[in-house]
Structure 1
Amino acid sequence: MTPASQTDGNVRKVETQARDETVALGHTLGRRLNHGLVILLFGDLGSGKTAFAQGLARGLEVPASFVVTSPTYTLVNEYPGRLPFYHVDLYRLPEPADPDEIGLLDLFGEDGIVAVEWAQRLHPADRPTCRLELFFTVTGDTVRSIRIIAYGLDPSDLLKDIDICSFPP
């Protein structure tokens, strides 16, 4: 992972060189989380959103016996761990999706971690005040640029000195 310059304390940009590094980034972040949080994932198909969510699950101590896959056809997969992990995929929903109609607002109020793939399908007004947003961009065959923005959070706990090498998946 190659850190890039930060524009301010609420924004962090990293570059992963391979899928394993994207998974490891999720793992690192998952290990740091100790209370409920909504994480919105933006990016095209194949940009690394699901790989990140798989690492996040391992960092949250979701047992390895649970295969973490994108819930494209089920909308939400729930996994047990140190904190409950809710993996949401809005890909098949019309834009904008109504979070109340699909039960997403209830999940946002849970004391678990909610990772939402295809978060661009949510209207900006429906996004929780306190959240992380991750923007995945394909910049090479295996290279991903990931911009992380913290909203309504003290970013020093989550974004400062992220080093995926210290927590292998």
Structure 2
Amino acid sequence: LDVSEKYYITSPTFTLINEYPGRFRLSHIDLYRIEDPLELDELGFYEIIDSNNVIAIEWADKFLDEFTSGYLDIKIKILGDQSRRITITACGQENINLINKLELKILSD
């Protein structure tokens, strides 16, 4: 993503959306306090997800129906101080293709 080290990335719990410039813009969205899909439009949510940004969404499961082109569901489980389990599930053909390419890259390294 190439986000500069000068940016301390935090959860957008109160701001709802934090954006960070880089080679790809990172849009970090927290949907925890959003109750109604109509609020998503007021946030500019649809413009963000229709962009070429990298988008990380907390509490995305509240509005999965809004992700019409698919998504990657990334879960990170803490196993210990220095250990994590990352599970990635793809929804939508473009994302399935992306995961297949990632898997091939990992296996070839």
TM-score by length of 2: 0.75
Q: Report the residue type matching 1:118 in the other structure.
A: W
Which consecutive segments of 4 or more residues in structure 1 shift more than 6 A? none
Of 131, 134, 156, the match for 2:71: 131
Aligned positions, number = 102
- Does residue 96 of structure 2 align to residue 156 of structure 1? no
Sort the Cα spacing of 1:83 and 1:115 in 2 relative to 1 into closer, same or farther, 3 A. same
Aligned to 2:54: 113
Residues in 1 aligned to 2:106 and 2:59: alpha-carbon distance in whole angstroms: 24
Q: Percent of aligned positions with the same letter in both sequences?
A: 32
- Contact 1:71–1:88, Cα closer than 8 Å, also in 2: yes
Of 147, 158, 163, the match for 2:87: 147
Q: Considering only aligned residues, what root-mean-square deviation do their CA atoms show, in Å? A: 2.4
**5+ long unaligned stretches in structure 1:** 1-59
- Contact 1:108–1:128, Cα closer than 8 Å, also in 2: no
**5+ long unaligned stretches in structure 2:** none
Give 1:1-169 correspondences, 5 Å limit: 60-94=1-35, 97-98=37-38, 99-122=40-63, 124-138=64-78, 140-142=79-81, 143-151=83-91, 152-153=93-94, 154=97, 155-162=99-106
- Contact 1:97–1:121, Cα closer than 8 Å, also in 2: no
Residues in 1 aligned to 2:57 and 2:102: alpha-carbon distance in whole angstroms: 18
TM-score by length of 1: 0.51
- Higher normalized helix content (fraction of residues): 2
- Higher normalized strand content (fraction of residues): 2
- Contact 1:91–1:117, Cα closer than 8 Å, also in 2: yes
Q: Report the residue type matching 1:86 in the other structure.
A: S
Deviation at 1:150, TM superposition (A): 1.8
Q: Secondary structure at the match of 1:87?
A: strand
Larger RCO (CA under 8 A, 6+ residues apart): 1
